[in-house]
Homo-oligomer: A and B are copies of this chain.
Amino acid sequence: MIMHYSVNKIPVGVLGASGYAGRELCAIIARHPRFSLAFATANEQRGQTVRAGRDDVTFIASDDAPLAKAEIVFCALPHGASLAWVERARSAGARVVDLSSDFRPGHGDAAAKAVYGMPELGSATRSAIASADIVANPGCYPTSILLALAPLASAGLVAPGAMIIANAASGVTGAGNSPKRELLFAEVSEDYRAYGVGNTHRHLKEMLATMATFGAAHADLVFTPHLLPVARGILSSITVPVVRELADATEPLRAAYPNEPFIEVVPQQPRLRDVVHRNVVRMTATMIAGTRAPTMLVTSAIDNLVKGAAGQAVQNANLMCALDECTGLPT
């Protein structure tokens, strides 16, 4: 916020900088005290200059990216297109944070080459990220849902064979900024609808595979995303059959995240306005009254472009560069 010095800055690059996540990355990097932007690519918009935070960024074609100049390459290319570019960046000697699903758990063999970049899953994850060459940055919905579920599963609270129902609602930036008729203002405003129903959404596999790593392999998951008439933010409302009533349903969440700078366990219901433009997951939990078996509702809110994408990517890059995990991140 105060002075800019370019000595000792770590050069980073962004592949796919014109999408919403890519632009958010450029903006966070512009404010980051230790990263400097070596390049930002956007094939269709190459030559264009856009504002990113307080800096101007001129897009170049991906083929022109000086990959070797970057210590960290953030890859924000579309799913499917990422795989080859990550390899290319690796060949040039860069370490990579990939924001696509290409290297995420549940998406095939490539996942084995990457570390899943959700630092709050624990110290082992943090260590793995710190030394990783490729970090698969989690999806926005999984970030919101898994960080709410992990403490319950780790504490053995999820009822055996439980059916976990995760209803989530996302702002439209989650769908990207390619011009589609269904995302026009006149179509989205005053509307709301489910999509990707029936467990068909791309993020389901990522969640199931990750749930297995923290002891929830026995549970079923029903995931129903919805499209909200807001620009940013995800709120997930997750109903979880648990093994016993808790006097304070938030206790296992607070116990799991005693010192996490980016997790806020609160007594009141989190709302999107609490989290937009911030790199946090804000959550609470409540016991459901009147059901035969003990049941808990966990609600969690994130900014899909920050903690759900660009912010978490920089958080991972901070770990990879042995910086304070919070460096340059809006809390």
Contact = CB atoms under 8 A, between A and B. Distances in A.
Interface residues of A, number: 76
A181 B184 contact: no
A186 B20 contact: yes
Contacts of A171: 186, 190
Number of copies: 4
Contacts of A228: 192, 228-229
A192 B1 contact: no
Contact of A192 (B222, B233, B286, B297): B233
Contacts of A172: 184-186
Given A186-B173, A193-B235, A224-B239, A200 B33 contact: no
A128 interface: no
B222 A239 contact: yes
B230 A189 contact: yes
Interface in A286-304: 286-293, 295, 297, 299, 301
Contacts of A276: 190
Given A177-B181, A184-B179, A190-B276, A199 B291 contact: yes
A4 interface: no
Most buried by B among A180, A186, A220, A232: A186
A52 interface: no
